[in-house]
Amino acid sequence: MRKHTLFISFFAFIFFLFLIPNTDPDFGWHYRCGSELLKLQKPCIDNTFTYFLKDYKWAYPSFIYDALISLTFDVGGFVAISIIGTIVSSLIIFVIYKTMRGDFLVKMSLILIATAFSWSTISLGFRSQFMTLLFLFLEIYLLSRKKLVYLLPLLFLIWANTHAGFFLGPIVLGIYTANVFYRWIFKKVDFREFRSFIFLTITGILATLINPFGYRIYLEIYHHMQIPMNTLIAEWVPPPQNYVLLILSLTGVLFYIHLSKTNYKNFNIFFLVLLLLSTYLAISARRNLPIYYFSAVIFASYEFRKFKMPKKWTSFIHDFSFLCLFGLILYFGFTNVVSINKYNKGQDQFLNNQVEFFKDKSGNVYNTYEWGGFLVWKLPNMKFFIDGRMPAWIGENGESPYTTWLKITQTQPDWEQILNKYETNYLLIANGTFLDLLLRENPAKYNYTEVQRDAQGVIYEKI
């Protein structure tokens, strides 16, 4: 009974922990894509939101996520988005828990440690990347249950229409197939099983091609890799050096434990290579930290699955853990609901004057990058320069549109010519940027006039 009560309390805590405001700056364009898909049967294939690279074809398969966001928001606004976000987050943790092995208290502790170290990434609220976390760990769970592995092609099909991280699915399945091959060499499995996983890998890859873009979703991933995102966008920057040291040390320890106590014929190639892959992803970009830490605790649970808490301490630990969790449920239940309410009120006032100014206008607006998604959503009558979809696109001269945007914001050479080339009618920028400081003194010199300014931003109109 204590164990069941603690189990329920743990996941109630997880639910309220992840019940947080949705601060995703890309929410707006995801919502608009989903809305147009559901109401107009118009998928986000052509770039109709911006006047910069207006003919760009973007093979980004986020249709299911976009539709989910649109439906959820239309039903209950940002509160509903926070609720669906915590449901997905809790499901991710539940799948990880079911994949792990060993004592319940050990699994619970490892999950909490992984959550704490991943919090800087996952505390931003529900985002499309969460869907890849869910599908990735669901794949690992299915691979741990041999009778369920034949659901993987269906999983890949859904994944390939939900988030661009789908490419990890075939890679992880390929790693598992290599593990089966390794075991077959040492006669741990028969050839029939190896052949089945080869067939399953091929079928899974083919399943990812069932999407509106076909093979082009793989080309989009290749293009994404050509852009140095780690020099442009904060979440793609590598984690701090102390994090990198921790990750490499933890990987080294887990490797040592496994290799030192396991006969080479029984090496778990799947977990070893998966850990190496997640290590590379994590030290390449901080957005991948959850993939690493949760993969590491699954591996660790297999290594320590025989560890049991001493029976004389079990009752005390269960009771103490329940009291701690109960207190945390009350704390996060209250503070997170308050923070959601406060954030939502702030969103109602965000760029309110600027949105009102453009409400009955049309034209091309050079905008602050971080506001792009919001403006695309709030002002469908206007065309903007950039939004959160575009940093990974290949623009003029093979550079990221974000780089072009930065040149203008920093008033680098030819910034004015770029704006003129694309027939920019308005500038909507933050106060105090290089561009604002240059124009503020004498906007007429550059053929602009200031039409509105407040604490949030300033609008210049082309003369």
**Is 333 part of any domain?**
no
Final residue before a domain boundary, out of 306, 321, 336? 321
Asked if 305 and 386 sit in the same domain, the reply is no
Asked if 32 and 90 sit in the same domain, the reply is yes
Asked if 106 and 246 sit in the same domain, the reply is yes
Residue type, 352: N
With contact defined as beta carbons under 8 Å apart, do 445 and 463 qualify?
no
Question: Strand, coil or helix: what is 163?
Answer: coil
pLDDT in tens, 96-131: 999 999 888 889 999 999 999 999 889 888 999 999
Asked if 98 and 25 sit in the same domain, the reply is yes
- DSSP codes joined into one string, 47-116: --SBSTTTT-B-----HHHHHHHHHHHHHHHHHHHHHHHHHHHHHHHHHHHHH--S-HHHHHHHHHHHHH
Angle between helices 269-284 and 289-303 (to 10 degrees): 150
Number of structural domains found in the chain? 2
Residue type, 5: T
pLDDT of residue 230: 78
Can you tell me the distance from the alpha carbon of 159 to that of 165, in angstroms, rounded to the nearest whole number? 8
**Is 47 part of any domain?**
yes
- The CB-side HSE value for 283 (13 A sphere, CA atoms) comes to 16
**Is 326 part of any domain?**
no
Asked if 317 and 386 sit in the same domain, the reply is no
Picking from 77, 82, 115, 120, the residue whose alpha carbon sits closest to that of residue 96 is 115
**Is 24 part of any domain?**
yes
**Is 331 part of any domain?**
no
**Is 177 part of any domain?**
yes
pLDDT of residue 377: 95
Asked if 272 and 384 sit in the same domain, the reply is no
Asked if 316 and 367 sit in the same domain, the reply is no
pLDDT of residue 443: 93
pLDDT of residue 59: 86
Asked if 252 and 388 sit in the same domain, the reply is no
pLDDT of residue 392: 87
Can you tell me the distance from the alpha carbon of 263 to that of 252, in angstroms, rounded to the nearest whole number? 18
**Is 100 part of any domain?**
yes
**Is 334 part of any domain?**
no
Residue 288 tokens, joined: 């991948």
Helix (H) or strand (E) holding 366: strand 363-367
H helices present in 186-232, as ranges: 191-208, 216-226
Can you tell me the distance from the alpha carbon of 370 to that of 375, in angstroms, rounded to the nearest whole number? 10
Final residue before a domain boundary, out of 298, 321, 344? 321
Asked if 307 and 360 sit in the same domain, the reply is no
pLDDT of residue 152: 97
With contact defined as beta carbons under 8 Å apart, do 409 and 434 qualify?
yes
pLDDT of residue 100: 96
Profile the chain (463 residues) by mean pLDDT over runs of 10 residues: 85 96 92 93 88 89 94 95 96 97 91 95 91 97 93 97 95 96 92 94 96 90 83 86 95 95 91 96 95 96 81 79 92 93 86 93 95 95 94 86 95 94 96 94 93 94 94
Asked if 294 and 367 sit in the same domain, the reply is no
pLDDT of residue 1: 66
Residue 230 tokens, joined: 């780690």
Asked if 259 and 160 sit in the same domain, the reply is yes
Domain hosting 426: range is 352-462
- Sheet harboring 426-429: ordered strands across? 382-384, 363-367, 426-429, 458-462, 448-453
Asked if 281 and 421 sit in the same domain, the reply is no
